[in-house]
Amino acid sequence: MRIALIQPGLGFGGAKRQRALACLRPTALAVLAGATPPDVEVRAFDDRFEEPPYDQEWDLVALSVGTFQARRSYEIAARFRRQGVPVVLGGFHPSQCPDEAGLVADAVAIGEAEVLWPQIVEDARKGRLQATYRQDARADLATTHPDVSIFSDKKYAPVNVIQFGRGCQHNCDFCSVRAFYPEGLRHRPVREVVEELERSKERWTFFADDNLCGHPRRTKELLREIAPLKKRWTAQTSLDFVDDPELLDLMVKAGCQTVIVGLESLNPGTIDQMKKGWADAGEYARKLEIVRDRGIMVYATFVFGYDADDPGIFERTYQFAMEQKFFLLNFNHLNPFPGTPLYHRLQAEKRLLLDRWWIHPDYRFGNAVYEPRGMTTQELTDGAFAIRSRVHGYPSMIRRFLDRRTNAASLANALTFALVNIGSRQDILSKHGRPLGREEELPDGLQGVCAR
């Protein structure tokens, strides 16, 4: 039996594929490969920089689908099915929109892959795939053993991608993580993660956790174990890790180079509406100073477009970003992802301009798809793109680089800053305004699905 595991790209209207400088290997495919019976041949393909293997013989094709990749995933699925190859779609998006995904797939997996996958493979082997596979119970992460050997022929960034925990203890209004993992945060055994790090040849590691420091006691256990490995690593975390001095000390000793922090907004009204009650925008500067004093670079993310935001929020945020000399920045307008409280609220208030924006023919990457309260939809779209472009302009990049405590503290930090920021600039300028998918028409079965 031969199975193709595919990481879909965004398509961008058929634009030439271009490998990003910071293209990381997709952990979901490694998890599937690790859960595949040993007598099955399994290969991985990445649509972001290579053509899917339409010209080969397969017994099953599986795609892990996010909302932005949905349209492209449906195109890939439709083409394989026209060739008589059964297709299964799983991941965040099909789990929230199973009826939609089922229009273009032989099977839809709802829930976590490692629990469902062995049964899907067995059913495909016997030619009796079910239309839907559902797993509502939590997966036992002690049984999760990703197989990264499937990436041996790929040229990803030289970064080890590993996951310690899944989910987040917070429940932000806009976040799709809690919609997929409603039970909150759980972890793999510390020893298994350490052994995986010991086997990796990469000097740098990215923890693909949604919030590495969400459970401080468990995180401390991990950090004590990995400190002797002398790895340099990056992780996503909420800023409240600064309030635990012991945790901060351990992060430094264990090799933390960068933290990705969702600051989201400088507007207290926006923070409240996001349901980020633990965050205090008035404390950001003080806490960030503590992080920089420890030599840790900060990648900050912000979201615009909640009801308390007005057009002035863009300039205020830009000035704050320059003052803080962030290693990297990401500015997004609100994207209402299916299954989130935000999506349901905007839908109920009839403020969505495109219900299924992810497959709508009028959608373009970077466009706001709802009616804000404090500005127009176009002002939100233009403002978010303008600040992204401005902060990644070379004068702004140079200003941010000039922090000898972090970004310019060492040759390694300086090189990382340059490569990642140039790659991010390239990504921003090449994506904006492009349609999702590679084909003009939606696959058969999806015609007429978009309500508006």
| Angstrom distance (rounded) from CA 43 to CA 25 | 14
What is the b/e burial string over 270-305, where b = at least 16 CB atoms within 10 angstroms of the residue's CB?
A: bbebbbbeebebeebeebbeebbeeebbbbbbbbbb
The predicted pLDDT at position 138 comes to 74
Residue 340 DSSP code: S
The predicted pLDDT at position 233 comes to 95
The predicted pLDDT at position 274 comes to 75
Could you tell me the maximum CA-CA distance found in the chain, to the nearest angstrom? Answer: 61
Cβ-contact 339, 180 below 8 angstroms? yes
pTM (two decimals)? 0.91
Ranges under pLDDT 70 in the chain? 20-22, 139-140, 142, 167-184, 277-278, 450-452
The predicted pLDDT at position 172 comes to 62
**Token pair 């040993």: residue:** 38
The predicted pLDDT at position 173 comes to 62
